[in-house]
Amino acid sequence: MSQSSPRVLVVVQHDGTHCSPSTLSTFSAAQQLATLCAKCPIDALLVGYQCQPVCEELQQLGIINQVNLVDDEWYVHPLSERIAPVVAEVSQRYSHVLSSATTFGKDLMPRVAALLDVGQLSDITAIESADTIIRPIYAGNAYARVQSSDPIKVMTVRESAFDNIQPTEGSTTVTRLQRVNSPISTEFVGQIMTESARPDLTSAKVVVSGGRGLGSKENFTLVETLADKLGGAIGASRAAVDAGFVPNDLQVGQTGKVVAPDLYIAVGISGAIQHIAGMKESKVIVAINNDPDAPIFEVADYGLVGDLFTIVPELIENL
């Protein structure tokens, strides 16, 4: 299994050209972990096809000791069924294996843990020692301290809990590995990419979210206009998604995306605990709601009680 001495591996999420922001946050978590493990080395595992630009980006970070590169047409589409066997094989040389708690990591890492016959430490928000982490439970209303005795610790990291790693001076070697063939019954058919001029929801510095209080898909344009004025991304509560106001990839909350922007504006959102779990780590929270007893005001730094159809247009005009 793993080496007797600690060694950290980060599984890289990328688009073939750049690392995802969530991976940069995962490297930050890895750096904290390495410090707790007597400054043990940090390596990266990059799996893909024609992804040399990503490899060069990783080399520029400076904190990575070695990039394990698996570049093969077999991995042109990031299917977890294909990637998991190579991650599991490489992971046997490491004490800790980290990936982001995004859709990519949530799909991939449980498979890796199963192949290694170990448990998984999911959605971690803090690292206390080489074998002890903190993670949210009960929709973020409580935090659990979890200790693992597994020889290989498989972890997924919550992006909003760690800052992006900053490049430093350092040398990085690149080791090319062969693909790992494994029989799978999954076939890639296609994907539909959402094109948007707005920043990505999970990495935006400003997020404006709308809820059921907007009343209709047409009224949701108020949220979009306010977000555009602020150069931010748009989000939504589950109620707004279920009502068909916006697609479900914009949902913020326990069953959606977790965000922690510098500014979060909640428009017509009452503040169910599932929604609050996905945005309460935001630096500044502004709530607009006509119900003064709405739960959202309990976590808001600034609350505007009134008719959103009056307040939001005034905000847009003044901005």
Binding-site residue set for FAD: 212, 237-238, 251-255, 268-275, 289
Sequential DSSP letters for 70-89:
EE-GGGSS--HHHHHHHHHH
Amino acid in the structure at residue 227? A
> Annotated binding site, which residues?
212, 237-238, 251-255, 268-275, 289
Q: Which residue has the tokens 């970070």?
A: 61
CA dist., res. 312 & res. 240, Å (int): 17
**CA-wise closest residue to 11 among 115, 88, 65, 79:** 88
CA 310 to chain CA centroid, nearest Å? 35
Q: What separation in angstroms does the CA of 209 have from each of 79, 212, 236, 306, 316?
A: 31, 11, 5, 17, 15
Which amino acid is it at 242? D
Q: Is 244 exposed, middle or buried (0-12, 13-18, 19+ CB in 10 A)?
A: exposed
